[in-house]
Amino acid sequence: LAMAGMVGGAAQAAPVSAAGKSEFVSVKKTHFARKGKTYYIAGANFWYGGYLGSPSGVGERARLRKELDAMKALGINNVRVLAVSEKTEMSSAVRPATTNGPGKYDEDLLAGLDFLVDELGKRDMTVVLYLNNFWQWSGGMTQYLNWFEGTPALDPNVTRDYDDYMAKTARFYANKDAQKEYRGTIKKIVQRVNTINGKPYRDDPVIMSWQLANEPRPGNGKAGDKEKAIYTTWIAETAQYIHELDKNHLVSSGSEGLAGSAQDAKLFMASHSTKHIDYLTYHLWPKNWGWFDSKKPVESWDGAIAKSRDYLNSHIDIAKTLGKPIVLEEFGLDRDGASFDIKAGTSIRDRFYGEIFELVQRRAANGDPIAGWNFWAWGGAGRAANADYWWKQGNDFMGDPPQEEQGLYSVFDSDASSLALIKEHAGKLRALQK
């Protein structure tokens, strides 16, 4: 049996297709393989997919099915989803949370994840599940420190001091109590049995990869050797722990690349050369990183796209050096005029998406280790509810988590030109699968 694995003595037979090729996404040198073919990711970020699947409360199962059908129709084959959130007092975090306190889980929200995974299986789609967050919008590492250090969970949207936030949040990696709780949660999710279809997650090829966290960083831009060493050890040991629990699935870090590695290429390479990390990830945020000024698009476009191309290409070259696939699993740009209004145009964003898609397609067609993309993020039928565009509990979920204006980076079901572009390029990537 392909991919047979032993966990706790019981043989875990990996499901195989009639052709005897593993259903699980695997890594073959610098490419993904699935069902006997190379596999490219034409994906969407859909952080709230599990929330929509919940049987009660925030759940909207009819909407979830509609969103997945819409994505499938565009040729989207993968979604990247938040699997775990922590209840927190930080104002710009999602409510409710899958974890209400150490070891206290919201079974309804976790059943939402079950429903999402089952619905994805019906559509032959795969999912990357991230198990923590460096940022505040789902509680994340800062909330663990509030639980186990007793330090206040300070929302950087309130303090406006992201440098201080990042330096403090990185204390998570070396906090033994926080790590014990985090590993307990990892075990709870990885060894979960789907309450909708009875399948153990470990044996479900719908799951493509477990991801340590969303955008884990070693600290802020001034992180020193000690922080970098702690971060590197944390990635390797946590990834190894997940592989010990689950012999079938890939493990990735959720890193942004150099932007999430204190701009230190050596750190990005050293922290991802461990055999326990199966593929590399990176993210591209020209506006967030100050490369693009959406209020001065003409003046800032050339510089932004040049830096973006360099960022895209240099990380593919790092992947070549490390001999692993790499996925551009987040990228985005705001609407024309830096508007959050769904009626605002998306001409600049469409041009940016087109540049990304074409560069990735070119390098992938050339056999380089770029394995696809996930745009940030699927807004679908979600609509902003408030004049100030900020999210309040009970409002629609959409691509923008609660720490950002609702409409900032979301691709809505009414953004016809963006959806057409996504469909065109998803098809081109799919054509490479042989």
Closest CB to ligand IFL among residues 130, 182: 130
DSSP labels for 229-272? HHHHHHHHHHHHHHHHH-SSSEEE----SGGGTTT-HHHHHHHH
Q: CB of 430: closest distance to ligand IFL in angstroms?
A: 26
Closest CB to ligand IFL among residues 179, 211: 211
The contact mask relative to ligand IFL for 314-333 (x = CB under 6 A, - = no) is ----------------x-x-
Which range binds ligand IFL by CB under 6 A, 81-89, 148-156, 162-170, 281-289? 281-289
Residue 214 found at the interface with ligand IFL (CB under 6 A): yes
Report the C-alpha gap between 232 and 320 in whole angstroms. Answer: 20
Name which of 221, 47, 238 is nearest 133 in CA terms. Answer: 47
Report the C-alpha gap between 385 and 391 in whole angstroms. Answer: 7
Residue 350 found at the interface with ligand IFL (CB under 6 A): no
Q: Give, in degrees to the nearest 5, the angle at Cα 409 between 406 and 413.
A: 80
| Contact present, 219 and 166 (Cβ < 8 Å) | yes
| Contact present, 5 and 26 (Cβ < 8 Å) | no
Which range binds ligand IFL by CB under 6 A, 190-198, 232-240, 280-288, 333-341? 280-288
Q: CB of 38: closest distance to ligand IFL in angstroms?
A: 27
Closest CB to ligand IFL among residues 135, 201: 135
Closest CB to ligand IFL among residues 60, 330: 330
Sort strands 10-12 and 99-101 into parallel, antiparallel or unpaired.
unpaired
* From 24, 182, 376, 397, residue interacting with ligand IFL (rule: CB under 6 A): 376
Residue 401 found at the interface with ligand IFL (CB under 6 A): yes
Q: CB of 209: closest distance to ligand IFL in angstroms?
A: 16
- Token reading at 304: 């932004």
Closest CB to ligand IFL among residues 22, 255: 255
Report the C-alpha gap between 84 and 99 in whole angstroms. Answer: 7
Quick one: CA dihedral 420, 67, 88, 405, positive or negative? positive
Q: How many residues bind ligand IFL (CB under 6 A)?
A: 12
Give the count of beta carbons closer than 10 Å to the beta carbon of residue 236. 19
| Contact present, 220 and 206 (Cβ < 8 Å) | no
**124-153: contacts with ligand IFL (CB under 6 A):** 135
Residue 53 found at the interface with ligand IFL (CB under 6 A): no
Closest CB to ligand IFL among residues 48, 376: 376
Which range binds ligand IFL by CB under 6 A, 74-82, 104-112, 188-196, 283-291? 283-291
Residues 6+ apart with CB under 8 A from 39: 25, 31, 32, 33, 371, 433
* From 404, 412, 421, 429, residue interacting with ligand IFL (rule: CB under 6 A): 404
* From 181, 215, 278, 405, residue interacting with ligand IFL (rule: CB under 6 A): 215
Which residues are at the interface with ligand IFL (CB under 6 A)? 135, 214-215, 283, 285, 288, 330, 332, 376, 401, 404, 409
